[in-house]
């Protein structure tokens, strides 16, 4: 019986201190944001040699997401999410789609989180 696979690589709920937001007080200090990234690798073959080079390292995904979040002030979470998703699609041709969710825990008084989720995919 043949099997069909679909591989997803993810980093979920990465907490990063970032300078982000449109309000004057958000320019004055950093605040926590929560970043989740899911990479749809499609039918990526299983590693033959059990080596990290045969896949996309989720530690690298976390590192790049944190670097983008910390490199400079960003006004919109949409901008940051798009930068991360574009990096994933541009960096590894095996990535066929990327979903990035960014939540700001202190954005609204009566909500646990507020934020955005974007999904980018390659043209078929």
pLDDT digits (tens, 9 = 90+) for 9-65: 999 999 999 999 898 888 888 999 999 999 999 887 777 777 777 778 899 999 999
CATH number at residue 18: 3.30.1130.10
Contacts 24+ apart (CB under 8 A), 7-10: 7/40, 7/41, 7/42, 7/43, 7/44, 8/38, 8/39, 8/40, 8/41, 9/38, 9/39, 9/41, 9/55, 9/56, 9/58, 9/61, 10/36, 10/37, 10/38, 10/39, 10/58
19 within a domain of the structure (yes/no): yes
Which run of H or of E encompasses 18?
A: strand 7-18
- Range(s) of the domain holding residue 41: 7-100
Does residue 47 sit within a domain?
yes
* Residue 109 maps to a domain: no
Total domains, the chain: 1
Residue 77 in any domain: the answer is yes
Helix (H) or strand (E) holding 104: strand 97-104
In a domain, 30, yes or no: yes
Q: Assess whether pLDDT exceeds 70 at residue 1.
A: no
The answer to whether residue 76 sits within a structural domain is: yes
pLDDT at 43: 81
Q: Is residue 108 part of a domain?
A: no
Q: Is-catalytic flag, 104?
A: yes
Within-domain flag for 110: no
Q: Which of 9, 21, 35, 104 is catalytic?
A: 104
């Amino acid at each position: 019986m043949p099997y069909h696979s679909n591989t997803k690589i993810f980093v979920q709920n990465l907490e990063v201190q970032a300078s982000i937001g449109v309000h004057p007080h958000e320019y004055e200090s950093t605040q926590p944001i929560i970043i989740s990234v899911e990479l749809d690798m499609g039918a990526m073959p299983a590693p033959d040699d059990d080596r990290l080079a045969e896949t996309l390292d989720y530690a690298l995904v976390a590192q790049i997401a944190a670097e983008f979040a910390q490199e400079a002030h960003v006004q919109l979470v949409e901008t940051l999410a798009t930068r991360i998703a574009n990096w994933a699609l541009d960096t590894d041709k095996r990535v066929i789609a990327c979903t990035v969710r960014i939540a700001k825990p202190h954005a609204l008084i009566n909500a646990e989180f507020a934020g955005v989720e974007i999904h980018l995919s390659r043209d078929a």
